[in-house]
Structure 1
Amino acid sequence: MVHQRLRRGGFGYLKQRITAFNQMAQRVMPVLLLTDLDRSGCPAELINAWLPVGASPRLLFRVAVRETESWLLADRPAFADFLGISIGTVPDRPDELTDPKAALLDLVRKSKRRELRQEILPRPGVSFPVGLGYNDQWCRFVRDHWEIGRAAKASPSLARAVERLAQFSEKDRVLPPRYS
């Protein structure tokens, strides 16, 4: 069961608070921490840089390679259907993309669904990299269309995250059983 979700300031906020999250995992409850690899060399390098003292066994520190958008792209049939585009235009190895968010936005530009383009893409002349409805639309996609098992087959980093979550004992479970 998820007790609390924190979405504040992204990468910087998580990195600054990593010691506190590790202590919380050790003393209070399991903690799932998810970040993007972005420009780091590899997940192990990022984890060691952020947490050189080592992680509590109850800290599930997972790194999406390169960005969490690669995990969205990994469910190719659902992604293509959601945007109304050909499945052949969706990359089949999203973890290997240099910039998954840019690839995702390029695919949204091809969408036949005007409302999705308006919500997800940045408005012309605006300095924001994404539209105001970016998170809402991708949350809706994950909730209503995306299948984690199918996505994990195309994303090794997601498959490792799913495997690590499945290894958690029943009393320490952080996700509902339908995701394990």
Structure 2
Amino acid sequence: MVSVLPTVNVVVEGITDAAVARRLLGYVGLPCGTVYIKDGKANVLKAVTNYNQSARLFPWFIIVDLDQKPDCAPDLITTHLPAPNPGMRLRVAVHATESWLLADARNLATYLQVPIKKFPGNPDLVKNPKITLVNLARISKQKDIREDMVLPEGRPGTVGPGYSSRVIEFVSLSEAGWRPEVAIQYSDSLRRCVDALRTLKDWKPVE
């Protein structure tokens, strides 16, 4: 009898996180189901209890950023999800999903056209990886990348108009893009996330 892998539904904060989640599910060999983009961490955590109830019957993969809060990732999970159902995988990106992208320094350096020596050695220790990514784009040799990812001076906000599109493109490229198999070697939070996702291959609904 052929074993059918479960389709995994996804909940994330934003569109770049959705691209990361899809890529990770593909990497571990799990089909991606419906993706819910909740527009912020607070909205995700507010709905976690409902998704956890559903996780008795369907598997869920939820990503939130740790951000710059003093909480550690395990505390955040146990606070908002004290009794996870077997199909629930709530994972915390330390300190954001951009940290996981920075963990594949070689391919990201090539994509951004910046020297690899400018990349942080341990991306999980970077308090604001989004700003770090923007600052790397700021020194790119490629004008289009600078214009897309870096906010013009005097404009409100933190990222350029094409930031999300560029991140999604990098994550989605087949060969020159983001390599989870490399990134897990340099980001402990990503490695734990991938290990947790792999266990869903044996998931069965609660009867």
Q: Structure 2: give runs of 5+ residues left out of the alignment.
A: 1-30
Q: Counterpart of 2:187 in structure 1: which amino acid?
A: S
Residue 104 (1) aligns with residue 136 (2)? no
- Counterpart for residue 148 of structure 1: 180
- 8 Å CA contact 1:64–1:71 kept in 2: the answer is yes
CA distance in 2, matches of 1:8, 1:117: 28
Query: How high is the TM-score relative to the length of structure 2?
Result: 0.78
Greater strand proportion: 2
- 8 Å CA contact 2:62–2:89 kept in 1: the answer is yes
Q: Counterpart of 2:145 in structure 1: which amino acid?
A: L
What number of residue pairs does the alignment pair up?
A: 170
Greater helix proportion: 1
Q: Counterpart of 1:167 in structure 2: which amino acid?
A: T
Query: How high is the TM-score relative to the length of structure 1?
Result: 0.89
Q: What SS class does the counterpart of residue 168 from structure 1 fall into?
A: helix
CA distance in 1, matches of 2:47, 2:53: 10
**Residue 30 of structure 1, CA deviation:** 0.5
Runs of 4+ off more than 4 Å:
none
**Residue 171 of structure 1, CA deviation:** 6.1
CA distance in 1, matches of 2:96, 2:129: 6
Residue 50 (1) aligns with residue 80 (2)? yes
Alignment counterpart, residue 74 of structure 1, candidates 103, 109, 114 = 103
Alignment counterpart, residue 35 of structure 1, candidates 61, 64, 69 = 64
Alignment counterpart, residue 120 of structure 1, candidates 135, 138, 149 = 149
Q: Structure 1: give runs of 5+ residues left out of the alignment.
A: 173-180
Q: 1:171/1:61 Cα in 2 relative to 1: closer, same or farther (>3 Å)?
A: closer
Alignment counterpart, residue 120 of structure 2, candidates 73, 91, 100 = 91
